[in-house]
Copies of this chain bind each other. A is one copy, B any other.
Amino acid sequence: MKTLAKVLNVSIATISKALRDSHDIGDETKQRVIETARLLHYVPNPYASSLRKRSSNTIAIVIPEIADSFFSQAINGIESIVDQENYHALIYLTHDSYEREAKMFNDLTSGRVDGILMSVASNTKDISHIQNLQQAGIPIVFFDRVCEDVPTAKIKTDDFNSAYVATSHLLDQGCKNISLVTIEGYPSILYARKEGYKKALAERGIKYDEQHEISCSNKYTQENNIAVLKDHIAKVKPDGIIATVEHLATSTYLACEEMKLNIPQDIKVVCFTNQITAAILNPPLTTILQPAYEMGRKAAELLFWHLSGKFIQMEKENIILPSKLVVRDSTRISD
């Protein structure tokens, strides 16, 4: 606080009041103190040491699915930080169910963990379980599947631009009827991707047709998804498909195979996936590769920054990391 007072040329009392959000201090001064505190990585010592005392040395990673390369790579990113900090990470699987998520959070309020890194379930609408945890003083950072209504740090990928790039690529490859395959839930992600898709179409003067949008199950058991996809393909006859979730890659390939449609000749496919098998599929799959490792790492960094008592306005941290188009044969222009 001494350093802060010196740098800003105000009294220590002013600094202290500003950081406690006291009414005695004007908004402008408060802002200046907070900004400078942030720049100097100010650590309010008593707070930090009390935190350290009640520490369980454990954080929770709450995710919907484990059979997913995105999440396994994100966990590797998280653990690269957790290991440095000499912490443990516990993984909680919601299986994409709000009910399971809420039940787990009840278990977490008991001080079992010091903080939480989380991707919400697709059907989570009531957020009181998350708010209860925040009120209990347990910080949360969202990654990928964020909950916009909770004021805290969020690490996302650029959903709008990813869909825009995928759609533009298919248009470049000659597609005229592009279907967007999504899953139920996650309204904010879905909205951004839809908008990116629409923008790419509009730029080429192609009219958006909601018939070209189809929603599959968020369950990884694929049988039903194959039927849904076959039905859609038979009806709409797309010449390009954007599958926005990893497990839809297999369903899409199998649906095309059962319908005797050749990829990329009859139909071109892009999938949002981090699967390492993408390169050895038949044909090799063009992907939107998300920065899973970096997202996990960044989320963990923010959480530990906060846990170490450094001054950080969590609700202002809204970080967007870019995805990348990896072009392979599934979108090749046929000879």
Contacts and interface: CB of A to CB of B under 8 A. Distances in A.
Contacts of A276: 222, 247, 250
Contacts of A112: 112
Contacts of A19: none
Most buried by B among A66, A95, A254: A66
Interface residues of A, number: 37
A281 B92 CA distance: 31
Interface in A98-141: 103-104, 107, 112
A224 to B, nearest CB: 14
Contacts of A222: 276
B279 A254 contact: yes
A88 interface: yes
Interface stretch (A67-75, A142-150, A177-185, A188-196): A67-75
Interface string A69-99: 1011101000100000000111111010000
A72 B67 contact: yes
13 contacts: A58-B107, A66-B71, A66-B75, A79-B93, A90-B90, A91-B92, A112-B112, A249-B277, A250-B277, A254-B279, A277-B277, A281-B282, A282-B282
Interface of A: 57-58, 66-67, 69, 71-73, 75, 79, 88-93, 95, 103-104, 107, 112, 222, 247, 249-250, 253-254, 257, 275-277, 279-284
